[in-house]
Structure 1
Amino acid sequence: MSLRYFDYYQQLEEKLRVEEPLMIQAGTWIAQRVAAGGRLQIFASRTLSGVAFEFWEQLPDIVPGKLIKNPADGIYEKLEGTGQAIIEQIETNPQDIFLLLSNEGRNPAIIELAQWIKEHEYPVIIVTGFDLSRSIKSQHSSGLRLFEIADLVLDNHAKLHDAVLTIPELDPSICGTASVSTMFLLQQMLYFIAQFLLKKEVPSD
Protein backbone atom coordinates (compact mmCIF):
# COMPACT_ATOMS: atom_id res chain seq x y z
CA MET A 1 0.00 0.00 0.00
CA SER A 2 1.40 3.40 -0.95
CA LEU A 3 1.06 6.48 1.24
CA ARG A 4 -0.68 8.51 -1.44
CA TYR A 5 -1.74 11.30 0.90
CA PHE A 6 1.80 11.65 2.22
CA ASP A 7 3.12 11.68 -1.34
CA TYR A 8 0.61 14.37 -2.33
CA TYR A 9 1.45 16.48 0.69
CA GLN A 10 5.16 16.19 0.02
CA GLN A 11 4.53 17.84 -3.35
CA LEU A 12 2.25 20.41 -1.74
CA GLU A 13 4.91 21.29 0.82
CA GLU A 14 7.23 22.36 -1.98
CA LYS A 15 4.54 24.71 -3.26
CA LEU A 16 4.04 26.15 0.22
CA ARG A 17 7.75 26.87 0.54
CA VAL A 18 7.43 29.26 -2.39
CA GLU A 19 5.31 31.42 -0.07
CA GLU A 20 8.34 32.19 2.11
CA PRO A 21 8.69 35.87 1.07
CA LEU A 22 4.99 36.42 1.72
CA MET A 23 5.15 34.68 5.11
CA ILE A 24 8.06 36.94 6.02
CA GLN A 25 6.10 39.99 4.83
CA ALA A 26 3.04 38.95 6.84
CA GLY A 27 5.22 38.34 9.89
CA THR A 28 6.82 41.75 9.45
CA TRP A 29 3.52 43.58 9.28
CA ILE A 30 2.10 41.78 12.30
CA ALA A 31 5.28 42.31 14.34
CA GLN A 32 5.24 46.02 13.46
CA ARG A 33 1.64 46.36 14.59
CA VAL A 34 2.15 44.37 17.78
CA ALA A 35 5.31 46.34 18.64
CA ALA A 36 3.22 49.52 18.32
CA GLY A 37 0.59 48.19 20.74
CA GLY A 38 -1.78 46.45 18.33
CA ARG A 39 -3.35 43.00 18.26
CA LEU A 40 -3.74 40.28 15.69
CA GLN A 41 -7.46 39.85 15.05
CA ILE A 42 -8.37 36.49 13.50
CA PHE A 43 -11.51 35.34 11.70
CA ALA A 44 -12.17 32.20 9.68
CA SER A 45 -14.93 30.87 7.51
CA ARG A 46 -16.67 27.74 8.73
CA THR A 47 -14.34 25.20 7.14
CA LEU A 48 -11.22 26.73 8.69
CA SER A 49 -12.69 27.75 12.05
CA GLY A 50 -10.92 24.90 13.86
CA VAL A 51 -7.58 26.02 12.44
CA ALA A 52 -8.24 29.59 13.53
CA PHE A 53 -9.14 28.52 17.07
CA GLU A 54 -6.07 26.31 17.44
CA PHE A 55 -3.75 28.99 16.06
CA TRP A 56 -5.25 31.67 18.33
CA GLU A 57 -4.94 29.44 21.42
CA GLN A 58 -1.28 28.80 20.65
CA LEU A 59 -0.30 32.46 20.31
CA PRO A 60 2.43 33.33 22.81
CA ASP A 61 2.01 36.27 25.18
CA ILE A 62 4.25 38.44 23.03
CA VAL A 63 1.66 38.24 20.22
CA PRO A 64 -1.66 39.47 21.63
CA GLY A 65 -4.54 38.20 19.57
CA LYS A 66 -8.29 38.04 19.45
CA LEU A 67 -10.46 35.39 17.82
CA ILE A 68 -13.55 36.84 16.16
CA LYS A 69 -16.38 34.35 16.48
CA ASN A 70 -18.35 33.18 13.46
CA PRO A 71 -22.00 33.58 14.53
CA ALA A 72 -24.08 30.38 14.57
CA ASP A 73 -20.91 28.46 13.69
CA GLY A 74 -21.01 29.97 10.23
CA ILE A 75 -24.18 28.30 8.98
CA TYR A 76 -25.47 31.62 7.62
CA GLU A 77 -22.20 32.87 6.13
CA LYS A 78 -23.50 32.41 2.57
CA LEU A 79 -26.31 34.91 3.17
CA GLU A 80 -25.68 38.53 2.26
CA GLY A 81 -25.90 40.88 5.22
CA THR A 82 -24.71 38.36 7.79
CA GLY A 83 -21.31 40.02 7.96
CA GLN A 84 -22.88 42.68 10.17
CA ALA A 85 -23.26 40.18 13.02
CA ILE A 86 -19.50 39.60 12.84
CA ILE A 87 -18.65 43.28 12.62
CA GLU A 88 -20.77 44.15 15.66
CA GLN A 89 -18.58 42.08 17.99
CA ILE A 90 -15.32 43.73 16.88
CA GLU A 91 -13.43 46.07 19.17
CA THR A 92 -10.29 47.66 17.78
CA ASN A 93 -7.42 49.94 18.53
CA PRO A 94 -5.57 51.91 15.84
CA GLN A 95 -2.65 49.48 15.49
CA ASP A 96 -4.63 46.25 15.05
CA ILE A 97 -4.14 44.00 12.04
CA PHE A 98 -6.55 41.38 10.69
CA LEU A 99 -5.99 37.80 9.51
CA LEU A 100 -8.84 36.17 7.57
CA LEU A 101 -8.98 32.49 6.57
CA SER A 102 -11.21 31.18 3.79
CA ASN A 103 -10.56 28.45 1.24
CA GLU A 104 -12.89 29.87 -1.43
CA GLY A 105 -13.02 33.49 -0.29
CA ARG A 106 -16.39 34.16 -1.86
CA ASN A 107 -19.03 33.97 0.88
CA PRO A 108 -20.86 37.23 1.67
CA ALA A 109 -20.16 37.28 5.41
CA ILE A 110 -16.38 37.30 5.13
CA ILE A 111 -16.47 39.65 2.12
CA GLU A 112 -18.52 42.14 4.15
CA LEU A 113 -16.10 41.82 7.06
CA ALA A 114 -13.11 42.45 4.76
CA GLN A 115 -14.83 45.49 3.26
CA TRP A 116 -15.44 46.91 6.74
CA ILE A 117 -11.79 46.32 7.67
CA LYS A 118 -10.57 48.18 4.59
CA GLU A 119 -13.07 51.01 5.06
CA HIS A 120 -11.55 51.52 8.52
CA GLU A 121 -8.04 51.42 7.07
CA TYR A 122 -6.75 48.36 8.88
CA PRO A 123 -4.38 46.04 7.02
CA VAL A 124 -5.76 42.60 6.21
CA ILE A 125 -3.85 39.41 5.47
CA ILE A 126 -5.71 36.42 4.08
CA VAL A 127 -5.08 32.73 3.61
CA THR A 128 -7.08 31.30 0.72
CA GLY A 129 -6.93 28.90 -2.20
CA PHE A 130 -5.78 31.48 -4.72
CA ASP A 131 -6.31 29.54 -7.96
CA LEU A 132 -9.57 28.10 -6.61
CA SER A 133 -10.90 31.51 -5.63
CA ARG A 134 -9.97 33.03 -9.00
CA SER A 135 -11.84 30.24 -10.79
CA ILE A 136 -15.19 30.72 -9.04
CA LYS A 137 -17.72 33.54 -8.82
CA SER A 138 -18.31 35.58 -5.72
CA GLN A 139 -21.58 34.98 -3.89
CA HIS A 140 -21.66 38.62 -2.82
CA SER A 141 -23.47 41.24 -4.90
CA SER A 142 -20.26 43.29 -5.18
CA GLY A 143 -18.74 40.49 -7.23
CA LEU A 144 -15.61 40.68 -5.07
CA ARG A 145 -13.64 37.75 -3.77
CA LEU A 146 -11.53 37.96 -0.66
CA PHE A 147 -8.17 38.10 -2.43
CA GLU A 148 -9.33 41.23 -4.29
CA ILE A 149 -9.76 43.10 -0.99
CA ALA A 150 -6.69 41.85 0.89
CA ASP A 151 -3.37 43.62 1.33
CA LEU A 152 -1.47 40.34 1.30
CA VAL A 153 -2.50 36.86 0.16
CA LEU A 154 -1.05 33.55 1.35
CA ASP A 155 -2.02 30.61 -0.85
CA ASN A 156 -3.00 27.37 0.91
CA HIS A 157 -3.59 25.67 -2.48
CA ALA A 158 -7.08 24.54 -1.50
CA LYS A 159 -9.01 22.54 -4.07
CA LEU A 160 -12.75 22.59 -4.76
CA HIS A 161 -14.55 20.77 -1.93
CA ASP A 162 -11.09 20.35 -0.35
CA ALA A 163 -10.64 16.87 -1.83
CA VAL A 164 -7.41 15.86 -3.55
CA LEU A 165 -7.33 12.08 -3.98
CA THR A 166 -9.45 9.76 -6.09
CA ILE A 167 -10.27 6.07 -5.79
CA PRO A 168 -11.81 4.45 -8.90
CA GLU A 169 -14.57 2.76 -6.88
CA LEU A 170 -15.44 5.91 -4.94
CA ASP A 171 -17.08 9.15 -5.99
CA PRO A 172 -16.44 11.97 -5.10
CA SER A 173 -12.78 12.57 -4.33
CA ILE A 174 -11.59 12.36 -0.75
CA CYS A 175 -8.86 13.66 1.59
CA GLY A 176 -8.43 17.38 2.23
CA THR A 177 -5.29 19.41 2.68
CA ALA A 178 -6.49 22.96 3.31
CA SER A 179 -6.52 22.81 7.11
CA VAL A 180 -3.03 21.31 7.26
CA SER A 181 -1.53 23.66 4.68
CA THR A 182 -3.15 26.69 6.31
CA MET A 183 -1.70 25.74 9.68
CA PHE A 184 1.75 25.25 8.11
CA LEU A 185 1.63 28.77 6.69
CA LEU A 186 0.39 30.29 9.94
CA GLN A 187 2.89 28.52 12.19
CA GLN A 188 5.85 29.53 10.03
CA MET A 189 4.50 33.07 9.93
CA LEU A 190 4.24 33.03 13.73
CA TYR A 191 7.85 31.91 13.99
CA PHE A 192 8.92 34.93 11.96
CA ILE A 193 6.79 37.24 14.13
CA ALA A 194 8.34 35.89 17.34
CA GLN A 195 11.85 36.19 15.92
CA PHE A 196 11.30 39.82 14.99
CA LEU A 197 9.77 40.74 18.35
CA LEU A 198 12.21 38.86 20.59
CA LYS A 199 15.26 40.19 18.79
CA LYS A 200 13.65 43.63 18.76
CA GLU A 201 14.59 43.81 15.10
CA VAL A 202 11.23 44.46 13.52
CA PRO A 203 11.96 45.27 9.86
CA SER A 204 10.79 48.60 8.55
CA ASP A 205 8.79 48.90 5.32
Structure 2
Amino acid sequence: MFGAFDEQVRTRLSELQSIAQSGGLDEAVEAMVTSIRNGGVLQAFGTGHSQAFAMEIAGRAGGLIPTHAIALRDTVLQGDRPASDLKGGLLERDTNIADELWELHEFHPEDVFLIASNSGVNGSIVGIALRAKQEGHTVIAVTSLEHTNAVTPKHPSGKRLAEIADVVIDNLAPFGDATVPVGDGGILAGAVSSITAAYIAQLLTLGTAARIQEAGETPPLYLSANIPGGDEHNDALKARYGERIGSMA
Protein backbone atom coordinates (compact mmCIF):
# COMPACT_ATOMS: atom_id res chain seq x y z
CA MET A 1 0.00 0.00 0.00
CA PHE A 2 2.77 2.45 0.91
CA GLY A 3 4.60 1.57 -2.29
CA ALA A 4 1.46 2.15 -4.33
CA PHE A 5 1.06 5.62 -2.83
CA ASP A 6 4.73 6.38 -3.40
CA GLU A 7 4.25 5.53 -7.06
CA GLN A 8 1.16 7.73 -7.32
CA VAL A 9 3.00 10.70 -5.83
CA ARG A 10 6.31 10.24 -7.62
CA THR A 11 4.66 9.86 -11.01
CA ARG A 12 2.77 13.12 -10.59
CA LEU A 13 5.72 15.08 -9.23
CA SER A 14 7.87 13.84 -12.09
CA GLU A 15 5.25 14.95 -14.60
CA LEU A 16 5.02 18.38 -12.96
CA GLN A 17 8.80 18.70 -13.11
CA SER A 18 8.71 17.86 -16.82
CA ILE A 19 5.96 20.43 -17.39
CA ALA A 20 8.05 23.08 -15.64
CA GLN A 21 11.23 22.07 -17.46
CA SER A 22 9.49 22.35 -20.84
CA GLY A 23 8.14 25.83 -20.09
CA GLY A 24 4.66 24.88 -18.99
CA LEU A 25 4.82 27.21 -16.00
CA ASP A 26 6.50 30.10 -17.79
CA GLU A 27 3.34 32.16 -18.24
CA ALA A 28 2.60 32.03 -14.53
CA VAL A 29 6.22 32.78 -13.62
CA GLU A 30 6.31 35.76 -15.98
CA ALA A 31 3.17 37.19 -14.39
CA MET A 32 4.70 36.79 -10.94
CA VAL A 33 7.99 38.40 -11.96
CA THR A 34 6.20 41.33 -13.58
CA SER A 35 4.11 41.85 -10.46
CA ILE A 36 7.13 41.90 -8.17
CA ARG A 37 9.10 44.25 -10.44
CA ASN A 38 6.15 46.66 -10.45
CA GLY A 39 5.87 46.67 -6.68
CA GLY A 40 3.04 44.15 -6.56
CA VAL A 41 2.30 41.45 -4.01
CA LEU A 42 1.45 37.86 -4.84
CA GLN A 43 -1.92 37.19 -3.20
CA ALA A 44 -2.48 33.52 -2.40
CA PHE A 45 -5.84 31.99 -1.50
CA GLY A 46 -7.11 28.51 -0.81
CA THR A 47 -9.70 26.92 1.44
CA GLY A 48 -9.80 23.55 3.15
CA HIS A 49 -6.65 21.57 2.39
CA SER A 50 -5.82 23.99 -0.42
CA GLN A 51 -4.73 26.42 2.29
CA ALA A 52 -1.50 24.42 2.17
CA PHE A 53 -0.79 25.96 -1.23
CA ALA A 54 -1.17 29.49 0.15
CA MET A 55 1.14 28.61 3.05
CA GLU A 56 3.78 27.40 0.59
CA ILE A 57 3.54 30.60 -1.44
CA ALA A 58 3.40 33.16 1.37
CA GLY A 59 5.61 33.82 4.37
CA ARG A 60 7.88 30.80 4.54
CA ALA A 61 11.64 30.26 4.50
CA GLY A 62 12.91 30.16 0.93
CA GLY A 63 9.75 31.85 -0.28
CA LEU A 64 9.22 35.20 -1.93
CA ILE A 65 8.80 38.12 0.46
CA PRO A 66 6.20 40.13 -1.51
CA THR A 67 3.52 37.52 -0.80
CA HIS A 68 0.33 37.49 1.26
CA ALA A 69 -2.09 34.73 2.19
CA ILE A 70 -5.82 35.40 2.29
CA ALA A 71 -7.81 33.05 4.54
CA LEU A 72 -11.43 32.56 5.49
CA ARG A 73 -10.47 33.03 9.15
CA ASP A 74 -9.64 36.65 8.31
CA THR A 75 -13.37 37.35 8.54
CA VAL A 76 -13.12 36.49 12.24
CA LEU A 77 -9.61 37.70 13.11
CA GLN A 78 -9.85 40.95 11.16
CA GLY A 79 -13.58 41.24 10.57
CA ASP A 80 -16.55 40.99 12.85
CA ARG A 81 -17.77 37.44 12.30
CA PRO A 82 -18.06 35.16 15.37
CA ALA A 83 -15.57 32.30 15.62
CA SER A 84 -18.46 29.85 15.37
CA ASP A 85 -18.78 30.74 11.68
CA LEU A 86 -15.53 28.86 11.04
CA LYS A 87 -17.08 25.54 12.06
CA GLY A 88 -17.88 23.16 9.26
CA GLY A 89 -17.43 24.02 5.61
CA LEU A 90 -20.11 26.65 5.16
CA LEU A 91 -17.81 29.64 4.64
CA GLU A 92 -15.88 28.10 1.78
CA ARG A 93 -19.18 27.54 -0.02
CA ASP A 94 -20.49 31.02 0.73
CA THR A 95 -20.89 32.92 -2.53
CA ASN A 96 -20.89 36.30 -0.75
CA ILE A 97 -17.77 35.85 1.36
CA ALA A 98 -15.46 37.13 -1.41
CA ASP A 99 -16.61 40.73 -1.08
CA GLU A 100 -16.32 40.51 2.69
CA LEU A 101 -12.74 39.25 2.44
CA TRP A 102 -11.88 41.85 -0.17
CA GLU A 103 -12.68 44.73 2.19
CA LEU A 104 -10.33 43.37 4.87
CA HIS A 105 -7.16 43.66 2.80
CA GLU A 106 -5.21 46.22 0.80
CA PHE A 107 -4.79 45.23 -2.83
CA HIS A 108 -2.84 47.17 -5.45
CA PRO A 109 -3.36 47.02 -9.23
CA GLU A 110 -0.03 45.23 -9.72
CA ASP A 111 -0.98 42.34 -7.41
CA VAL A 112 -1.38 38.86 -8.92
CA PHE A 113 -3.76 36.31 -7.41
CA LEU A 114 -2.74 32.67 -7.05
CA ILE A 115 -5.84 30.65 -6.16
CA ALA A 116 -5.78 26.94 -5.35
CA SER A 117 -8.79 24.65 -5.25
CA ASN A 118 -8.88 20.98 -6.12
CA SER A 119 -12.53 21.08 -7.17
CA GLY A 120 -12.48 24.70 -8.33
CA VAL A 121 -16.21 25.17 -7.83
CA ASN A 122 -16.86 26.36 -4.26
CA GLY A 123 -18.46 29.77 -3.77
CA SER A 124 -15.60 31.49 -1.97
CA ILE A 125 -12.98 30.33 -4.49
CA VAL A 126 -14.96 31.33 -7.56
CA GLY A 127 -16.06 34.54 -5.85
CA ILE A 128 -12.49 35.68 -5.12
CA ALA A 129 -11.41 34.81 -8.66
CA LEU A 130 -14.30 36.77 -10.16
CA ARG A 131 -13.68 39.77 -7.92
CA ALA A 132 -9.97 39.74 -8.74
CA LYS A 133 -10.71 39.70 -12.46
CA GLN A 134 -13.32 42.43 -12.03
CA GLU A 135 -10.67 44.60 -10.36
CA GLY A 136 -8.21 43.99 -13.20
CA HIS A 137 -5.85 41.49 -11.55
CA THR A 138 -4.16 38.55 -13.22
CA VAL A 139 -5.43 35.25 -11.78
CA ILE A 140 -3.39 32.05 -11.70
CA ALA A 141 -5.37 28.91 -10.83
CA VAL A 142 -4.06 25.64 -9.42
CA THR A 143 -6.79 23.00 -9.72
CA SER A 144 -7.53 19.43 -10.72
CA LEU A 145 -8.81 19.58 -14.28
CA GLU A 146 -10.04 16.01 -14.03
CA HIS A 147 -12.07 16.76 -10.92
CA THR A 148 -13.37 20.23 -11.78
CA ASN A 149 -14.61 19.14 -15.21
CA ALA A 150 -16.55 16.28 -13.60
CA VAL A 151 -18.54 18.35 -11.09
CA THR A 152 -21.20 21.04 -11.27
CA PRO A 153 -20.23 24.64 -10.41
CA LYS A 154 -21.72 25.89 -7.12
CA HIS A 155 -21.38 29.62 -7.74
CA PRO A 156 -24.38 31.51 -9.20
CA SER A 157 -22.17 32.56 -12.12
CA GLY A 158 -22.01 28.94 -13.23
CA LYS A 159 -18.25 29.33 -13.54
CA ARG A 160 -15.38 27.13 -12.45
CA LEU A 161 -12.07 28.58 -11.24
CA ALA A 162 -10.37 27.22 -14.36
CA GLU A 163 -12.82 29.10 -16.56
CA ILE A 164 -12.04 32.44 -14.90
CA ALA A 165 -8.26 32.33 -14.49
CA ASP A 166 -5.77 33.81 -16.94
CA VAL A 167 -3.38 30.92 -16.31
CA VAL A 168 -4.46 27.41 -15.28
CA ILE A 169 -2.08 24.87 -13.74
CA ASP A 170 -3.34 21.31 -13.39
CA ASN A 171 -2.40 19.78 -10.03
CA LEU A 172 -2.84 16.34 -11.65
CA ALA A 173 -5.01 15.01 -8.82
CA PRO A 174 -7.64 12.47 -9.90
CA PHE A 175 -11.38 12.84 -9.43
CA GLY A 176 -11.99 12.49 -5.70
CA ASP A 177 -8.30 13.18 -4.93
CA ALA A 178 -7.50 9.82 -3.27
CA THR A 179 -5.44 7.31 -5.22
CA VAL A 180 -4.97 3.97 -3.41
CA PRO A 181 -7.73 1.35 -2.96
CA VAL A 182 -8.26 0.19 0.62
CA GLY A 183 -10.06 -3.12 0.68
CA ASP A 184 -13.13 -3.74 -1.43
CA GLY A 185 -16.02 -1.43 -2.19
CA GLY A 186 -14.23 1.30 -4.09
CA ILE A 187 -12.91 3.07 -0.97
CA LEU A 188 -9.68 5.00 -1.59
CA ALA A 189 -7.05 6.71 0.56
CA GLY A 190 -3.83 8.52 -0.29
CA ALA A 191 -4.97 11.98 -1.42
CA VAL A 192 -2.40 13.80 -3.52
CA SER A 193 -3.69 17.32 -4.23
CA SER A 194 -2.01 18.95 -1.20
CA ILE A 195 1.32 17.38 -2.15
CA THR A 196 1.19 18.33 -5.81
CA ALA A 197 -0.10 21.84 -5.06
CA ALA A 198 2.73 22.45 -2.59
CA TYR A 199 5.21 21.21 -5.20
CA ILE A 200 3.71 23.57 -7.78
CA ALA A 201 4.05 26.44 -5.30
CA GLN A 202 7.73 25.68 -4.89
CA LEU A 203 8.28 25.34 -8.64
CA LEU A 204 6.66 28.74 -9.18
CA THR A 205 8.80 30.26 -6.43
CA LEU A 206 11.98 28.78 -7.86
CA GLY A 207 11.08 29.83 -11.38
CA THR A 208 10.33 33.38 -10.30
CA ALA A 209 13.50 33.70 -8.22
CA ALA A 210 15.60 32.29 -11.06
CA ARG A 211 14.10 34.69 -13.60
CA ILE A 212 14.87 37.66 -11.33
CA GLN A 213 18.40 36.37 -10.71
CA GLU A 214 19.03 35.90 -14.44
CA ALA A 215 18.17 39.57 -14.95
CA GLY A 216 21.00 40.53 -12.60
CA GLU A 217 18.73 41.33 -9.67
CA THR A 218 18.57 39.83 -6.19
CA PRO A 219 15.42 37.77 -5.60
CA PRO A 220 13.53 38.98 -2.49
CA LEU A 221 13.51 35.70 -0.57
CA TYR A 222 12.86 34.92 3.07
CA LEU A 223 15.62 33.42 5.19
CA SER A 224 14.56 31.10 7.97
CA ALA A 225 13.80 33.08 11.12
CA ASN A 226 15.52 30.27 12.99
CA ILE A 227 19.00 31.01 11.69
CA PRO A 228 21.28 33.88 12.79
CA GLY A 229 20.46 37.09 10.94
CA GLY A 230 17.23 35.71 9.53
CA ASP A 231 14.93 38.16 11.23
CA GLU A 232 17.08 41.15 10.33
CA HIS A 233 17.25 40.13 6.67
CA ASN A 234 13.52 39.49 6.46
CA ASP A 235 12.43 42.60 8.36
CA ALA A 236 14.47 44.89 6.10
CA LEU A 237 12.76 43.56 2.98
CA LYS A 238 9.30 43.24 4.53
CA ALA A 239 9.40 46.92 5.46
CA ARG A 240 9.01 47.80 1.76
CA TYR A 241 5.51 46.35 1.77
CA GLY A 242 4.26 47.11 5.29
CA GLU A 243 0.81 45.80 6.15
CA ARG A 244 0.24 44.57 2.61
CA ILE A 245 2.06 41.39 3.59
CA GLY A 246 1.15 41.45 7.27
CA SER A 247 0.81 37.98 8.73
CA MET A 248 -0.52 36.32 11.86
CA ALA A 249 0.59 33.24 13.76
TM-score normalised by structure 2 residue count: 0.74
What is the Cα deviation at residue 47 of structure 1?
A: 1.9
Give 1 or 2 for the bigger CA radius of gyration: 2
Aligned to 1:25: 27
Aligned to 2:10: 10
- Whichever residue aligns with residue 13 of structure 1, its letter is L
TM-score normalised by structure 1 residue count: 0.89
Work out whether 1:68 is the aligned partner of 2:83. Answer: no
Aligned to 1:149: 164
- Whichever residue aligns with residue 77 of structure 1, its letter is E
Query: Equivalent of 1:103, from 94, 118, 139?
Result: 118
What is the Cα deviation at residue 154 of structure 1?
A: 0.6
Moved more, 66-75 or 156-165: 66-75
Percent of pairs with identical residues: 24
The answer to whether the Cα contact below 8 Å between 2:72 and 2:91 also exists between their aligned partners in 1 is no
The answer to whether the Cα contact below 8 Å between 1:34 and 1:63 also exists between their aligned partners in 2 is no
Moved more, 163-172 or 101-110: 163-172
Superposition misfits of 4+ residues, deviation over 3 angstroms: 59-63
Distance in 1 between residues matched to 2:16 and 2:125, nearest whole Å: 24
Structure 1 unaligned regions, length at least 5: none
The answer to whether the Cα contact below 8 Å between 1:127 and 1:154 also exists between their aligned partners in 2 is yes
Moved more, 161-170 or 133-142: 161-170
Work out whether 1:57 is the aligned partner of 2:59. Answer: yes
What is the Cα deviation at residue 18 of structure 1?
A: 4.5
Cα separation, partners in 2 of 1:151 and 1:201, compared to 1, 3 Å: farther
Tell me, what secondary structure is at the counterpart of 2:149? helix
Query: Equivalent of 1:80, from 91, 95, 111?
Result: 95
The answer to whether the Cα contact below 8 Å between 2:98 and 2:131 also exists between their aligned partners in 1 is no
What is the Cα deviation at residue 2 of structure 1?
A: 6.3
The answer to whether the Cα contact below 8 Å between 1:44 and 1:100 also exists between their aligned partners in 2 is yes
Tell me, what secondary structure is at the counterpart of 2:188? strand
The answer to whether the Cα contact below 8 Å between 1:138 and 1:145 also exists between their aligned partners in 2 is yes
Tell me the number of residue pairs that the alignment of Structure 1 and Structure 2 aligns: 202
Structure 2 unaligned regions, length at least 5: 74-85, 218-249
- Whichever residue aligns with residue 194 of structure 1, its letter is A
Work out whether 1:189 is the aligned partner of 2:191. Answer: no
The answer to whether the Cα contact below 8 Å between 1:44 and 1:101 also exists between their aligned partners in 2 is yes
Distance in 2 between residues matched to 1:177 and 1:94, nearest whole Å: 34
C-alpha RMSD of matched pairs (Å): 2.2
